[in-house]
Structure 1
């Protein structure tokens, strides 16, 4: 990675941070119903997403991967429409973005990624899947099944765990037996690595190597990015109820934005701030200008061919609206 690469990754991280701050402000103003902050996880998300080859790879996010969306070039307005509750999963085209719709099911995107990786292996496209999940989600049976299946069939998938220290209010020490998600990979006979999740360069290099192994037919990899959620789990959460100010202050010393900024000049940082501010303004204006879709679209995309029961429900709904 050269200096230009680092500048670009820092720019994407800063856009993510400023959009994240704006999203919280919009939620507090009542514009967004709810939001899951990503502050502190920008390096893990941007660095991993940047390692993908958009011509053939695909990423499967949770509900907290704003940085991955920005790293893959998704229009922020289209992505944030999900949080505005305009459209479930955002208004961007997943096939173009190479980013699946955000998944709010804990551990859910891991299964989807493995299914996609099986398809990629069968059709010989040479692509690899990257799936996100947290340390809390690593306790889900879905994650075990996905890793075991991927290992048995040597699928091209990277299991990217963002260990942010907390499964909502439960610390990792009480959530992950053995203390390491990456160490579990050995039980499946696959690669497993811990990486500094606050160092965007380290994340990028580790993810790129894992994706290359997958594309080469060497099977899946588990990457555990050790990071920290600097904010609340969601805008309805109060982290002061379960962690101390001293802990938060100590962990803020490894803020991924500050870590990356140490390699940049003051002018480069200023330029990145100016760019991020412009993106935030444009995104906020776009979100506020959005119109809600027609209410009966609720029935439009359930099945390719609507069933008799769905048509009856639609008819009953229309009658209730006209009453």
Structure 2
């Protein structure tokens, strides 16, 4: 999947980022939009970031305080010297079809660490000899008295770039072509940040630094299911399409036209007839069809109805919830007053469920 600036997705304009406070460190208009990425990122580092340990000849790290949504985070900017790197050629560029671009001498990593993960800590690193975690300021390990070498620190720093617990990790070459490697929201280990918060932040950062193109490999899942398929059926585009990403290169030579035809065919698949309830899946589909106020004709109608029910359920749970209040005993709560409309809807839902169960039992006998 590739994001191309100033390109609409399926005829729709790109999603605009919400206005943020300048305290996030990447406020709009901070850098002139005329400069290339290699100039913008140096200006960005010189103005906002501070040097962070460890100081290595191959990897130089800067850190800046920032905000993602309402959460304060630290953004690490790691400058990697490609000539001294273990991997001179970029595998991500080769996969997406950018291998014809000249090899850049520098690439920049933008990382938001997961502070709750021990492996992602930037204040401590494990001793190579005994594994005890110690601070960078300590010259020797307090347990085994081992003094780490520069090679040990470079090995640790290289492992940090491959840490799967990072909340956000993107890499951009000096020519402005880059790759979004990792986004971990609440389901990926984040306590406060959602995937949308991280994508909004990454989108504004790319625009500010005049990044030319960004690629990603959509491997997102929801409860073990390929989320890109569910999003494509319900919304007509993947979840990343909300930020301008579109189909770039598929496996086994699949083209954009073939991908679009597959999505349309899957979305327009008709639902089975209510009279054919031979499997548990068909019974489940029939149950949702009974509960829907509108007739569900296609697979897209079914998925849209289910996802809307999930959103409404979570919305009702979060509405009016106060984290400071203690839970009360249900027996001590006053009885709520139901409107006649609520009673009618509940009765209709119960009747439809009973009808579905009765029809299922009749077919089984």
TM-score of the aligned structures, taking structure 2 as reference length? 0.23
Greater strand fraction, Structure 1 or Structure 2: 2
Higher relative contact order (CA 8 A, sep 6+): 1
TM-score of the aligned structures, taking structure 1 as reference length? 0.25
Indicate the structure (1 or 2) with the bigger Cα radius of gyration: 2
